[in-house]
Amino acid sequence: MSPSTPDLILLARRLFWWKEPADALRDPLRFLSQVMAIGTWEDVQTAFRHWTERDFREALQHAPAGVFDVRSWHYWHRRLCDQVAPPLPCRRLP
Q: Rounded CA gap, 21 and 62, in Å?
A: 21
- Please report the pLDDT score of residue 92 as a whole number: 83
In this prediction, residue 4 carries a pLDDT of 80
CA pair distance 57, 72, nearest whole angstrom: 13
- State mean pLDDT over 1-14: 88
Give the pLDDT of residue 2. 63
Contact 58, 29 (CB under 8 A): yes
How far is 5 from 68, CA to CA, in rounded Å?
A: 25
Average pLDDT over residues 42-70: 96
pTM for the structure as a whole: 0.92
Residue 1 reports pLDDT greater than 60: no
